Structure formats: C-alpha cells, structure tokens
Amino acid sequence: MFSSWIDELWYVLGFTIAAVVLGLISGYPLLFLLFGVLTYLGWNLLNLYRLQRWLNEGRKFQPPVSSGLWEEVFNEIYRMQVRNRKRKRKLTQMLNRFQEATSALPDATVVLSIHGEIEWFNDAAHKMLGLRWPFDAGQRIANLVRHPKFIEFMAAADYSKTVELPSPADTGMLLAALIVPYGDKRLLIARDITRLQHLEEVRRDFVANVSHELRTPLTVVNGFLETLNSTSEECPGTWVRPLQLMREQAMRMENIVNDLLMLSRLETDQQTRVPTAVDVADMSRMLVNEAHALSGDHAHRIALDVDAQLWLRGNHNELHSAFSNLIFNAVRYTPAGGEIRIRWFQDQHGAHWVISDTGEGIAPHDLPRLTERFYRVDAGRSRQRGGTGLGLAIVKHVLNRHAAQLHIESELGKGSVFSCDFPASAIIAPPAVTNLD
Ligand code: ADP
C-alpha cells in the first residue's frame, strides 16, 4: 500500500511537471497547470463514482477496472468482501447445522422473548405442544398452551421449577416443561414423561397391591400367634422364646405394611380429602398419653405446651399419623429419663408444631436423607425399637399435602428439634367453625 502511495505521488509530480513544461513551451503555464489539476480531479471523481456504483450494486462481484492507487483500493475492498462472504457462508452453515440438530431433538424446544413471545421452535414442539409455524411466531406461548398449571408456571417465572401438564396436541401424553434463561431470551424445553409416569404408576400400584395382599395373611398369622399365648402354662418351655420372636416380627411386618399402605394412599390421592377442623392441641394431648405408654419403664418426661385456640384446616387422620410418628420417634431415640417437649403455637409466619428431645441426635450428613423411605441412621437400632424406616417419609408427605414444611435441627448427643410449619392460611378458629367449603 505504501509503495502505491509513492507511485501515486510520482505520477502526480510527473503530471504536474509535464503540465508546467508544456505550459512554459506554449506560454500558458497557469492554464496548463489548471488543466492538469482538473484532469486529476476528474480522474479521482470518476473512480469515486465507480466505487460508489460497485458498492451499491451488491450483486456485481468483480471490482471495477482501474489503475494505480484506486486499483489497490478496489482490490483491497474486493478481498474484504471475499473474506466476509466466506465467513458468512460458514456462519450460515453452522446455524443450519445447529437448527438441524435442535430440530432433531426429541424434546420440544421453543425460543421465547423476554415477554414469552414465540421466536422459533423445533418439530417436536409442533408435535408435543401443537405449535404451528409460521402462524404462531410472535404469539405469547401462554395464549397457546392454555393449561392452568402452565399459565401459572409462566407467570411465576421461577426457572428452578418444572411443571407437568398434559400435551395440548396429544391428550395421552404427559409433559414436563422447564425454562432456561439465556441472554435476553428464554428457552422452553418440554419432555415427554408419559413412560416415566407410567413406570411410577406401576411402582406405586405394585407397592400398594403387595402391601394390601400381605395384610390379610399377616392379620391371620398375628391372630393365631396371639392365641398361642407363650406365657400360658400349656406352652412348652422351648417354645416360649420362638413364639415371642415370631410375634415381634409379625407385628413389625404388620407395622411396615400399614405404613406402606399409608404412604401409597398419600401418593395416590392428589389432594387431601375434604378438610376438616382439626383440634391439634387435643390430638397432641392424646398422643402424649400414648407416648407415655410407649415410654413405659423409660419414664421420659414429656412436656406439652399447646394453644388450644389454634385449630387447623386439614385431614385429621393424616395429621394424627404425622404427629404420632414424630412423637414416637422422640420416645424411641431418647434415652430413659430424657426430656421431650411439644409446642403448638402461632407467630407471624403461621402455625408451628414443634417437638424437641434430649435424645441421641442426628449427624449433619444424615439430615438431608432422613425423609427418604427406609433411610435409617442405624437400621439395627431402628428395628430393635420398632421403627419401620417409613415414619419421616409419611410425615413429609402429609405436610406437603397441607402446604406445610418439615424442618429438622439436630446435634449429635444433644437432641433434635422437628418443626412442622403450617402456613397462616391453614389456621382456623375453634370450634364453631364447621362450614369449611
Ligand atoms: P424409623 O421407623 O426408623 O424411626 P423414620 O423415618 O421415622 O424411621 O426415621 C428415620 C431415622 O431418623 C431413624 O431411623 C432415626 O435414625 C432417625 N430419627 C428420627 N427421629 C429421631 C429423633 N427424634 N432423634 C434421633 N434420631 C431420629
């Protein structure tokens, strides 16, 4: 480029000298100089015009023919254009490949604007969400997928959650949808979970059926074992211990079956049955009496501090089951003479049923897994104390169904606090309130 400039300067110099020399020879130097300058200006204007025309006619690929510095400029622009075209082709190919890959995804993928308007979607979105291209482009997704759960999900804009809904295009298909935000866009991804749902149903039915089928034979076995009273004098000495063990184990099996049935009922019924007014204070008092019986010789000290005016709107049996599991756990896992305290009170956040004990406590790494089925810190100890490993799973399910939450705090060797936190909306006044529509 630099050498072209030098050439150009030489040309200009040569041209000027030639004009001046010719001017001197002919006796009109200024006129010849003016003529030379005007010719040079005209040449530049002509090239400027060619450049503008070439750039305007985007389709014409070859640069205009010229010479000198202008030729250099044309060629440089031409090279830039070639490079840009190549880059553009590469980008388009990449974009096409990306779109092909996204289109081939089995999950429905929809690109949404920040306001939820559809910008692009793949084939699966057409099949699973019933979207049609190009008619639905620019429409708000919540206007097209009208399931109430989905509309609520879009309005909440909580991207950590997923929502399950039946496919608008195929009623037999169940979808799980989630939103991934990126840049100023949102990516809606919906997956077909019909098979998963079916497997889950099969698992639930299987557990419920097995538990149900086991219940009758167990009741019979238990009944006979009760009749075969090992303490009676007719019972031969060698049978005393086996009979006692058989009774204990049969009782354990019955407890497990009952807990499994309770869990499958909680899982199967979508909502808690028609809510009733539950007198939690009274329920706690009765449970404490039972806890004293369970404690027996261990003589736990059980303190009850309850607000009798605080009633809950909920399912009596389910709440009874949850609270009894927590109280019996406290008795089971607190050494003899230990203290157990139950409180039932209200604050600005809602109502709280809290049970604390001075028992053996739970290590921090066990806390997150406690509510899993059959998760025990020490399986042997749990069995020996009559636990089924399902108690806290039941508590969690029951509380979920009451829009409540379970919080556990514990320190090894010091004791544990289990807190059931109910929302203020679940609180009702006693006892005249019977109309709970
Ligand atoms: P289990 O029938 O074994 O008691 P749960 O689901 O009720 O089953 O409890 C799970 C585990 O949590 C228990 O095995 C026990 O290790 C621990 N746990 C529950 N409650 C307490 C408590 N109050 N103190 C100490 N550990 C507890």
Range of lowest pLDDT (62-66, 84-88, 119-123): 62-66
Q: Is 60 exceeded by the pLDDT of residue 72?
A: yes
Query: Average of pLDDT values for 55-83?
Result: 83
Q: Ligand 1 mean position to 329 CA, how many Å? A: 6
Which of 256, 370, 378 best tests ligand 1's pocket when mutated (most atoms within 8 Å of CB)?
370
* 328 and 388 Cβ atoms separated by less than 8 Å: no
List pocket residues of ligand 1, CB cut-off 6 Å. 325, 329-330, 333, 357, 359-362, 370, 376-378, 382, 387-393, 416
- Give pLDDT tens digits for 393-402: 999 999 999 9
The separation between the first and the last C-alpha atoms of the chain, rounded to the nearest angstrom, is 88
CB 129 within 8 A of CB 167: yes
Number of Cβ within a 10 Å radius of residue 285? 14
Which residue, by CA, sits nearest to atom 7 of ligand 1? 391
Residues 6+ apart with CB under 8 A from 256: 388, 390
User: Which of 254, 255, 256, 392 is the pocket-test mutation for ligand 1 (most atoms within 8 Å of CB)?
Assistant: 392
Spacing of C-alpha 57 from chain mean position: 53
| Average pLDDT, integer, range 221-244 | 80
Q: Are 324 and 360 in contact (CB under 8 A)?
A: no
Convert the pLDDT of each residue in 247-302 to its tens digit: 888 888 999 999 999 998 888 876 656 788 999 999 999 999 999 999 989 999 99
- In this prediction the pTM is 0.69
Q: What is the rounded CA–CA span in Å between residue 226 and residue 349?
A: 49
Q: How far is the CA of 258 from the centre of ligand 1 (A)?
A: 17
pLDDT in the model for residue 309 = 93
Least confident of 7-16, 43-52, 60-69: 60-69
pLDDT at 64 over 50: yes
Q: Tens of pLDDT along 114-132?
A: 999 999 999 999 999 999 9
Pocket test for ligand 1, best of 253, 254, 327, 333 (most atoms within 8 A of CB): 333
